[in-house]
Amino acid sequence: MASETVAAALLVSSRWLSYVGGVVAIGACGFRFVVLPTAARCLPVERLAGRASLIGLAGGMLLLLASLGRLYAQTYSIFGLDETVTTDLLRTVAFETRWGDGWSWQFVAAVACVVAFSSTLGAPRLGWPAAGAAAVAVCAANPLTGHAMANTRPWQPVLLQGLHLAGAGLWVGTLAVVSAVSIWPTLDDDDGDRSPPPPWERVAVLVNAFSPLALAGAGLLVMTGGATTWLYLEDFALLATTAYGRALLVKLGLFLGVASLGAYNWQRLRPRLGASDATAPLVRSASVELVLAAAVLVATAVFVGLPMPSH
């Protein structure tokens, strides 16, 4: 029983780290391609893009490490209860199983993410389009080792779950980048002939530029999540009578907390931005929102490993 618990913990933790890395990498692209162009008139775009590159690279590296961790965890779950995990066993799981077929694409997408974000640091004009393509690849590959592949028409849940991850990245991932950039040491270098704006003005510009993307990402997240639930559950009574359903309810409850905080930030705190005393409450609230979002990813990492009620 202890070994089974270890195996489950390894699988959940590696999946969670994979989700975090993917969401952050997608968020870095959302920040670069959507938020920064809107803020270009009054903020040092190149310097902020460089910071987004570092955050995206961190997400890609976390994604790559989590991918390797998932391979070990999956191998341990299959073989490691009775014998030591060896290179041969890892190779068997990676290249001779259906799960390994999907994992291989995820590994390639993670490597592409690291290479692309690394290139944004030295050649941003080429690197950022590559990073965007890598983020799309991460979304496309993510569902290939989960419940989607057990469906009779896997392209439907694969598409829905890929878009679901994209929505999470564009909303929560970009929020994480905006938050990190906002509390980064002040931009104390001149940007050409312009002096950097005060920190509270920078936060106001970034948050206002981020808000439309957050709404779009949240909307995509809700629509794809609802469609996936409808696709997977034959009877909504199973939400209360199965482990899968109860885990999904926990995820939905946490998600409602994230959504409520996001709505509060957008409706109540965002309009007050621009004054020096309005930034701290938003930063605190956004931090709680990100912590709850991380908890949602934990719940996701748990319930995707549970058998679907219809199977």
pLDDT by position in tens, the chain (length 311): 466 777 788 899 999 999 999 999 999 999 999 999 988 777 788 889 999 999 999 999 999 999 999 999 999 888 866 668 889 999 999 999 999 999 999 999 999 999 999 999 999 999 999 999 999 999 999 999 988 777 777 788 899 999 999 999 999 999 999 999 877 655 444 444 455 566 677 888 899 999 999 999 999 999 999 998 888 877 777 778 888 888 889 999 999 999 999 999 888 888 888 776 777 888 888 999 999 999 999 999 998 888 877 54
d(CA 31, CA 36): 6
Angle between the N-to-C axes of helices 45-75 and 98-122, in degrees from 0 to 180, rounded to the nearest 10: 160
Rounded to the nearest 10°, the torsion over CA 247, 249, 253, 259 is 100
- 89-101 b/e with 16+ CB inside 10 Å = b? bbeebbeeeebbe
Q: Which two tokens stand for residue 167?
A: 């929505």
| Contacts with 304 (C-beta within 8 Å, 6 or more apart), sequence order | 15, 146, 147
**pTM of the shown model:** 0.92
Domain residue limits, the chain: 2-303
